[in-house]
Chains A and B, each alone.
Chain A
């Protein structure tokens, strides 16, 4: 059994995931999707038990009714595990992972500015990356956001 397959079986065993929630498109790449209610347990399993101990980046996605986040985690040998979870757009609250990876700070602020997430547990700080005078309720990476004509145009 390959290393990726072993990780898959462990994820299925501990998180009671169905087979189709884990995709291994090629060697060293694992995609896992979990319900938000299961996210903290899944994240802890990936980081502390399966030793994906580097956070590469976060990706936010607008899926229509829902907003999704992918946590791109790396193991010591560079194998990447992409842990995906989603929340309703009407209540887009996720939990900060800055307690485990302080480098998540800027990525989570990006999720707030560009997609309108609410991140619980993120320390107060400057916004990123939009300007101080950018409207707080406009999130340009949401699919329904359209650029408005500039004043005078």
Chain B
């Protein structure tokens, strides 16, 4: 901890490697008492030059590179890329392939939310929630491995379709697993709304107003938690138009 000229101001360095951060990133946080006065940010430690790497490769090769932008939301990245190429090339997607893309996307969403729920629990010192939610997350990771062969980087999307079908036995396993996770998720929602230590720890902390969320470009659950009525699966019905009911 470095002391500034002003005795009341402190600079706290966080990162680039820190057990609570999921990627290397560096923040130098200026504090006055408990108030954050400013943050100096250094990012980019993991920049891998994927755009440049894509320049010299074919569209099909790029699907796999783009998928590796992130290990948590890989389906989102490859879906975005193949949708873009399909739109340029005016390629139609078979209806079954659209369903399969959506199913993988939704399973990925379930695993992602359970992952971050656990991390959120860990960050507030509620490690039981981390253990529970990551245990439950294994159910959906197993389902993704069952369908695609991989826990992450599913390799399902390709230009104009998907690379694997979903069999009847896989479908039964997915429905059974998701029933279990639905029940667990309802329990976590109840916990978040009723557990007094969570309420005491989080009430009034880090509130992001609707205006701030809009101005800062927040998306997904972060935006919706700030009452921004936005859901790409509902608003932008493209591949997922046949699966609108899945969103609600």
Contact = CB atoms under 8 A, between A and B. Distances in A.
Interface string B229-241: 1101001100000
A101 B215 contact: yes
A64 interface: no
A140 B49 contact: yes
B41 A101 contact: no
Interface stretch (A1-9, A16-24, A32-40, A127-135): A127-135
Interface in A114-153: 114, 125-131, 140-141
A140 B52 contact: yes
Contact of A54 (B43, B47, B51, B217): B217
Which secondary structure dominates chain A's binding surface? loop
* Residue among B43, B47, B51 having the largest count of chain A Cβ atoms under 10 Å: B47
Contact of B44 (A28, A55, A102, A131): A131
Interface string A30-54: 0000000000000000000000011
Contacts of A101: 215-217
Interface residues of B, number: 20
A77 B216 contact: no
B41 A126 contact: yes
A130 B47 contact: yes
Interface in A64-102: 74, 76-78, 101-102
Interface in A54-68: 54-57
Interface string B35-48: 00000111110010
B214 interface: yes
A103 B52 contact: no
Contacts of A12: none
Interface in B204-248: 214-217, 228-230, 232, 235-236
Contact of B236 (A28, A55, A56): A28
Nearest to B232: A78
Nearest to B44: A129
Contacts of A56: 217
B232 A129 contact: no
A114 B49 CA distance: 10
10 contacts: A28-B236, A54-B215, A54-B217, A55-B217, A76-B230, A77-B235, A101-B217, A102-B215, A125-B40, A141-B51
7 smallest A-B Cβ distances: which pairs?
A: A129-B44, A129-B47, A78-B235, A126-B42, A103-B217, A128-B44, A54-B217
